[in-house]
Structure 1
Amino acid sequence: MLELLAPAGSMEAVAAAIQNGADAVYLGYGDFNARRNAKNFSEEEFAAAVSYCHVRGAKVYLTLNTLLTDRELPRAAEFAAQASTLGADAVLVQDLGVVRMLRQVAPDLTVHASTQMTIHNLDGVKMAADLGMRRVVLSRELSRDQIEYICQRSPIEIEVFAHGALCMCYSGQCFLSSIIGGRSGNRGLCAQPCRLKYGWGGKADSYPLSLKDLSLAGYLRQLRKMGVACVKLEGRMKRPEYVAVVTGIFSRAIREDREPTPEEINQLQAAFSRQGFTQGYYLDNQGGHMFGVREEGKEPRELFAAARNTYQSGEAQRVPVTFYAMVRPNEPVQVGVKDPEGRVVTVSGQTPEEAHTRPLTTEAVEKQLSRTGGTPYRADRMRVLVEEGLSLPLAALNALRREALDGLTHARAELPQRRTGAYHPGARYENRKEPPVLTISVRKAGQVTPELLELGPALVYIPLEELAAHPELAQAPEGTAIGVILPRVAWDREFPQMLQQLEQVRALGVADALVGNLGMAAAAKELGFTLRGDFGLEVYNTQAVKEFKRLGFASLTLSFELKFPQLRDISKTVDTELITYGRLPLMLMENCIIKNRTGQCNCQNENVLTDRKGAKFPVVKAPGCRNELLNSQILYLADKQADYRRIGLWAQRLLFTMESPQECVQVAKRYLDQGDWSPREYTRGLYYRDVE
């Protein structure tokens, strides 16, 4: 049966989820999770939540799915070790540095790959398995055929989102909130700027980045048959009544092996929606019909009142138990209870007397033992032996039932015996003293000219599709290497073409591959490429650097969400790059907003999205007919070289996107201290300001 995983932003929401049939809840403990604005649990609350759930046969998953700095990792290690000791059943992660830390401090705690890891193909799932993870939460953009393909071949469990908010960008690849507002979605503080107005032609008059909420309520049986292990409900920021309504509807549908009724669908919409729901990604049917905004209406008071009643007025008897009883002459009465996991609690009471009027019967004993109302238990089976002619007060049987169930509750709440360890950051490496070499990445083959190559960059990265179409670019002057940029997203159905192109460029002598997603690493490595990590891998701390080194990466691009002092503090056990010029990528989108606007593919034309403040964001084509939203301003640091040359980099990278071939040469010369070019408007990015 599908596991149903519900959100819990508070202890009340835990009760709402569990009393309405959730098999597990996910919640935050400490400040290191993707919903830091939710009410995260204190140590006492977390312990109480775990006990509450375990007694009722449910699991608790800790969300530790944000990027952490070196200075934050020791504190996160404390939380993780405490959570493991307190009985958390698994932890969700994004940061490979956190994965490495968990092996030290909580080696027995199960690890799940968060959707923030942008795992969307089979190779990504296999990589997560190799890292020791037991489950992967797939990207929400995948269609059902791709989910099924992965499920049928995955070595570990697959979890999918089945209800709740949809991000416009692939989770883990969104930088819009951090770049324009200083609040990072990768750090758990997304300000949701995608829900604001934007538009084309210089007017912010629509909502082209605000998707309707996802609901796969009508596809639960299909998901189960495909091999999905767990369906996840989004909503840790939402109220407990919402959790109760949605969890109850999904739980009943799963338990009864049916789809929700029309009335239940209406209730889901009343609880929360953005102009209805969408299944566009799942059905592989994208377009403008998937978009909507939240319209403030009347609170569904009756629905929410009924929902509150489900978790405030008693216990749902979730746990089936078997009762045993033995009533024999001259022996104390024995009552035992056994739970589904095989725990047995036995208690004994007074010795029965000889009956003078109505002797005790098996039916009477079973009736008293089955009165489990007000507890999490329901009497599923009875094994009762009552010898004839005996008498026993019913109150005595009731007391034994209560004592046995209390003992079972205590046993079910017992903490697991797990190992914990100390967190050791490891030896630090001295930063490089020499200035960084220059690397260049382009978006179009035409940006690579003889004039650019004559400037002697150490590496020029060219997108796979462009390099395959222009094999002549594989040859470069001595001292300059050509590398290939792999797509950050490539579904399994896109892999055959990608592999063919990779083999083609490898045969041309190209030896370096810039990899921005775990799911692309194995293919490049098997073909003999040197792995170089791109910004999409989200390298945020020393432990992540060490983990990627262990995976065979020769160099890594450090996160552009870090400040210079934080970048300097990272111990660079492999060569590191930093983007020092360009329009930073803010969103990678599966739903083509260019086509949504015009009704046809228009990638070659200039497409600019305008926000409510008049800022203009270019939208460009990404591999696989996807969109990439670029920053409105150019990152420019040529006049700040003294600052970034001190942080121990191997390379600084110029990220060319919209530039003409002539502008590419101009910019490269400026970064080589040739000329005095500078952009009219520019930004320093996040390197000088704090990101929450």
Structure 2
Amino acid sequence: MKADRKPPTQPTTPNIKIPELLSPAGNWECAKAAVENGADAIYFGLEQFNARMRAQNITTAELPKLMAYLHLRGVKGYVTLNTLIFPQELTQAEQYLRTIIAAGVDAVIVQDIGICRLIRHLSPDFPIHASTQMTITSTAGIEFAKNLGCELVVLARECSIQEIEKIQKQLQEKQTSLPLEVFVHGALCVAYSGQCLTSEALGGRSANRGECAQACRMPYELIADGKLVDLGDKKYLLSPQDLAGLDVLPELVKAGVTSLKIEGRLKAPEYVANVTRVYRQALDRIITELDPPKSPLVRGTLNSELDPPKSPLVRGTLKSENLNLVPPLLRGVRGDQNVMKQDQKTNINKVGDSSDRYNLEMAFSRGLYTGWFEGINNQELVHARFGKKRGVYLGEVTRISQDKISIKLQAPIKPGDGVVFDNGHPEKQEEGGRIYAVETKGKETILTFGKRDINFRRIQVGDKLWKTSDPELDKQIRQTFSGENPQFQRPLNLEIHGELNQSLIVIATDELGNIVQVESAINLVEAHTKPLTTERLKEQLGRLGNTPFSLGNLTNHLTGELMLPVSELNRLRREIVTQLEELRQQPKRWQLNSNAKLSELLPTKKPSSLTNSNLIVLVRNIEQLQAALESGITTIYCEFENPKNYQTAVKIVRKFPNLQSPIPSPQSPKIFVAPPRITKPGENWILQQVRASEADGYLVRNYDQLEFFAEQVCIGDFSLNVANGLTADYLKNRYNLARLTASYDLNISQLEDLITSCPTDWFEVTIHQYMPMFHMEHCVFCAFLSEGTDYTNCDRPCEKYEVKLRDRVGTEHILQADAGCRNTVFNGKAQTGAEYVQRLIELGLRNFRMEFVNETPEQVSHIISLYRQLLQGEIKGSQLWRELQLQNQLGVTRGTIR
């Protein structure tokens, strides 16, 4: 039976809750590695609809068994359904969700707005977690998720601790709340999750569909005003160091974060075990520091009812020894420095030590850094020297002789360890191998390799050496989750009652609040030699070695000196374990509406009420705006770096006489202006500047803007990720949007499905654009064209240079900054959907959009002229394609719509 939990007594540190530790699991072995090293929950994908489709993933058939295993061990299991769902997939997604809910999964992690709606339609109580793919960066975003029925929000990785605290304060002021989760460790995406279209643009593999091709980890050259900028060995301009929040863990706890998420569903079980273990022990040290004599925290609440004796680990007992290898005094590659330096942050809150860092670097490291947690530092986020795993930095080569190299060692090394030599060209094949012998001479260490293992002609003095493999560490880590017996155990509290000539009664409570009561089959008798003292009871009832439990607090209420045979005590102990295991493995019983139908949520189809096709043009400077007006365009969007210039743009449009246009228009032109794509706490001043333009309407990009511009005419932009009718209906009708821009993840078939599943008047489709690939907090201008760390001291190179990033095949991608100092990398080749326009017109679509980036006014006029002819049926899409191929020096591709 379930016991009613008593409220915990007040801890010495008020209002502090220890967050859940959430670990990744790409397969069963990873799940076990997480459980045995102290994870409170794991997240995993199934065969479909998850953002790590390259992972092995759990199968749907395995789901009930996995959930029973997790719940037995006191661990929650969350399924990732964190991709966009296309119209033809909705029926399949519905059945998929029914299976997940019925299996007793603890929550599902969701990106798609429509899927949130579908889940709530199927079940009123099944927990939804808003994925980081929803790009939530503010209080408005959290409220948006809450209105969808979400019970937890995973914030964007770009949120600093200060911003998290500000969000929490704003939520309190609004008397609303929602638990917050943050990524605390792992690969750091350079682009905002849910806003990266790079893989889609370059290879048709969308990150919003779980198929990221990791173009950010590739080398790029920096071109400023047409000239190559010499950055030395810095080539990986978009590859951030890996996130490591260990040093700021106390600050995250104090900020009230509910869940700490470790990235890594593509990683091996050794990685999962290693990283989980480090953060488990770090959190447990924080618990001890907050309330030393008190008991464990259960699922994030200080609970002084539980008091496991002699246990330094609060949420359970790690049976294997700590991994105490000698660590390096190094942290991460920083800015212009070629070696890593020790973190000097020392205060009473520091929880990580050098052995922790060693383990994390050996698990996987491109350099470890706190990411955006401590604010923006563009000099440190991206060191740009490599974009792949390195490990622990050992030092520079000082001498080379025969099969030996000498080095001034900065970290431990031993025979059997694997190393790689770094000569500044990670894109080429690098030399590496295993150490055969280690010898110390003075300040130098001499490393010997096996014969013919290394080509010493390819190694030079000054090359950097990295330890990439530590077999001894791997062996120790693997032992933490090998075998069948549980190694991480949860505390079990016992109360013992009984009197002479009566049964002995044991009441057992686990950390989840399950409670069982067992009675002895033999009455207690008077003890002549070995009475049942508290110590004796602990000895016999605490023999829980092969179970999920360890003995927590034992309270002895026996009256007098009494005795019971050891065999009966053993039976009671086994019965307690059996009953608790049965209780824990029972699946969660969520409500599931068997009568709910997907069709009840879908919008009603209506034929288009529009007759003429409308060509919409987005411009990015005043000159392009003038060219669009003179070409007779009557719907113009402006996206300028500086919102102050919108007032000028609006005045130009309002004063523009239609009679001056070579193509007379029956109506006055309308101007819509666009705020930046991301809005963070404290950035409403930007939105106020945008609204001060008093434009005809606004191109809204995020949840803050849906709220801020609610009283104005608004168009929903592509960044809202409208990929199905459920999402379209919610945004269109709840927020009274004039139109929606179809997601750029849709190909022509999926696009047809979308616009035919809803009233076609709802949509506009972008048919000409430079795909906005990376949208990122990382400022390339600041990082590589200044010595500054952020906008306060960078001297604004974004206003001085025209910058492009040249990739490995020679394409030069356009880089631009916005008012929030965020950067967008636009594909260097324009994409056209011209060949599908006639088909879309036949389906009833009337609003077609084209976007310009850096074209001259002459190019703008010419391209508009071609698309106008296309919409009027004067030329075919293939003719337009050929014309642009000949005339546009920047190049044009058929794009992602195909």
Structure-1-length-normalised TM-score: 0.93
Q: How does 1:380-529 map to 2 (within 5 A)?
A: 380-386=552-558, 391-421=563-593, 422-425=596-599, 426=602, 428-432=604-608, 434=611, 436-449=613-626, 452=629, 455-463=632-640, 464-473=643-652, 475=654, 478-496=667-685, 498-506=686-694, 510-525=695-710, 528-529=711-712
Query: Hey, what's the Cα distance between the residues in 1 that align with 2:745 and 2:668?
Result: 31
Out of 864, 871, 884, the position equivalent to 1:678 is 884
Question: In terms of Rg, which structure is larger?
Answer: 2
Native 8 Å contact 1:456 1:479 kept in 2: no
**Which residue of structure 1 aligns with residue 387 of structure 2?**
293
Native 8 Å contact 1:516 1:536 kept in 2: yes
> Aligned AA for 1:373?
G
Query: Hey, what's the Cα distance between the residues in 2 that align with 1:174 and 1:655?
Result: 18
Query: Hey, what's the Cα distance between the residues in 1 that align with 2:684 and 2:527?
Result: 83
SS for the counterpart of 2:598 is: coil
Higher mean displacement: 612-621 or 632-641: 632-641
Deviations 1:600-642 (A, max 9, x none): 6433533221111122211122332221111121112445431
Deviations 1:235-265 (A, max 9, x none): 1111111111111111111111151111211
CA pair 582-44 structure 1, distance change in 2 beyond 3 A: closer
Deviation at 1:294, TM superposition (A): 1.9
CA pair 358-97 structure 1, distance change in 2 beyond 3 A: same
Deviation at 1:66, TM superposition (A): 0.2
Native 8 Å contact 1:61 1:90 kept in 2: yes
Query: Hey, what's the Cα distance between the residues in 2 that align with 1:330 and 1:236?
Result: 57
Deviation at 1:434, TM superposition (A): 4.2
Structure 1 residue ranges without an equivalent (≥5)? none
Native 8 Å contact 1:287 1:592 kept in 2: no
Native 8 Å contact 1:431 1:572 kept in 2: no
SS for the counterpart of 1:371 is: coil
**Which residue of structure 1 aligns with residue 844 of structure 2?**
648
**Which residue of structure 2 aligns with residue 306 of structure 1?**
476
> Aligned AA for 1:240?
P
Out of 718, 738, 758, the position equivalent to 1:572 is 758
Native 8 Å contact 2:496 2:504 kept in 1: yes
Native 8 Å contact 2:501 2:525 kept in 1: no
SS for the counterpart of 1:649 is: coil
SS for the counterpart of 1:13 is: helix
- 2:717 corresponds to 1:534: yes
CA pair 430-224 structure 1, distance change in 2 beyond 3 A: same
Q: How does 1:201-240 map to 2 (within 5 A)?
A: 201=223, 206-240=235-269
Native 8 Å contact 2:779 2:821 kept in 1: yes
Query: Hey, what's the Cα distance between the residues in 2 that align with 1:237 and 1:107?
Result: 32
Query: Hey, what's the Cα distance between the residues in 2 that align with 1:473 and 1:143?
Result: 40
Kindly report the root-mean-square deviation, in angstroms, between the aligned alpha carbons of the 2 structures. Answer: 2.5
CA pair 330-567 structure 1, distance change in 2 beyond 3 A: same
Query: Hey, what's the Cα distance between the residues in 1 that align with 2:131 and 2:76?
Result: 17
- 2:279 corresponds to 1:250: yes
CA pair 269-317 structure 1, distance change in 2 beyond 3 A: closer
Deviations 1:194-221 (A, max 9, x none): 2122213598982111111011110010
Native 8 Å contact 2:73 2:548 kept in 1: yes
Higher mean displacement: 535-544 or 608-617: 608-617
Deviation at 1:163, TM superposition (A): 0.9
Query: Hey, what's the Cα distance between the residues in 2 that align with 1:358 and 1:182?
Result: 79
> Aligned AA for 1:309?
Q
Out of 537, 549, 552, the position equivalent to 2:732 is 549
Native 8 Å contact 2:679 2:702 kept in 1: no
Higher mean displacement: 379-388 or 191-200: 379-388
Q: How does 1:581-660 map to 2 (within 5 A)?
A: 581-599=768-786, 601-604=796-799, 605-638=801-834, 640-660=836-856
Deviations 1:497-527 (A, max 9, x none): x233134123xxx2321111123211111xx
CA pair 330-440 structure 1, distance change in 2 beyond 3 A: same
Native 8 Å contact 2:617 2:633 kept in 1: no
Native 8 Å contact 2:38 2:280 kept in 1: yes
**Which residue of structure 1 aligns with residue 194 of structure 2?**
172
SS for the counterpart of 2:125 is: coil
SS for the counterpart of 1:483 is: strand
**Which residue of structure 2 aligns with residue 60 of structure 1?**
77
Deviation at 1:282, TM superposition (A): 3.1
> Aligned AA for 2:353?
T
**Which residue of structure 1 aligns with residue 132 of structure 2?**
115
**Which residue of structure 2 aligns with residue 335 of structure 1?**
506
CA pair 572-461 structure 1, distance change in 2 beyond 3 A: farther
CA pair 381-451 structure 1, distance change in 2 beyond 3 A: closer
Deviation at 1:453, TM superposition (A): 5.0
CA pair 451-199 structure 1, distance change in 2 beyond 3 A: closer
Structure-2-length-normalised TM-score: 0.72
Deviation at 1:186, TM superposition (A): 0.5
SS for the counterpart of 2:690 is: helix
SS for the counterpart of 2:475 is: helix
CA pair 642-93 structure 1, distance change in 2 beyond 3 A: same
Query: Hey, what's the Cα distance between the residues in 2 that align with 1:45 and 1:277?
Result: 37
Native 8 Å contact 2:503 2:523 kept in 1: yes
CA pair 667-273 structure 1, distance change in 2 beyond 3 A: same
Higher mean displacement: 344-353 or 671-680: 671-680
Deviation at 1:343, TM superposition (A): 2.2
Native 8 Å contact 2:803 2:814 kept in 1: yes
> Aligned AA for 1:562?
L
CA pair 225-389 structure 1, distance change in 2 beyond 3 A: closer
SS for the counterpart of 2:817 is: strand
CA pair 453-84 structure 1, distance change in 2 beyond 3 A: farther
Native 8 Å contact 1:336 1:345 kept in 2: yes
- 2:560 corresponds to 1:374: no
SS for the counterpart of 2:651 is: helix
CA pair 389-49 structure 1, distance change in 2 beyond 3 A: same
Deviations 1:379-420 (A, max 9, x none): 222244445576532122112111111111111121222211
Identity %: 32
Deviations 1:541-594 (A, max 9, x none): 111111112331221100122122211112224610110012111111211213
Query: Hey, what's the Cα distance between the residues in 1 that align with 2:239 and 2:187?
Result: 10
Native 8 Å contact 1:441 1:654 kept in 2: yes
> Aligned AA for 2:837?
Q
Out of 83, 95, 98, the position equivalent to 2:115 is 98
**Which residue of structure 1 aligns with residue 86 of structure 2?**
69
CA pair 540-339 structure 1, distance change in 2 beyond 3 A: same
SS for the counterpart of 2:813 is: strand
- 2:29 corresponds to 1:12: yes
Query: Hey, what's the Cα distance between the residues in 2 that align with 1:210 and 1:356?
Result: 71
Higher mean displacement: 334-343 or 219-228: 334-343
Deviation at 1:317, TM superposition (A): 4.9
CA pair 521-354 structure 1, distance change in 2 beyond 3 A: closer
SS for the counterpart of 2:714 is: strand
Deviation at 1:354, TM superposition (A): 4.9
Query: Hey, what's the Cα distance between the residues in 1 that align with 2:102 and 2:628?
Result: 61
Native 8 Å contact 2:88 2:753 kept in 1: no
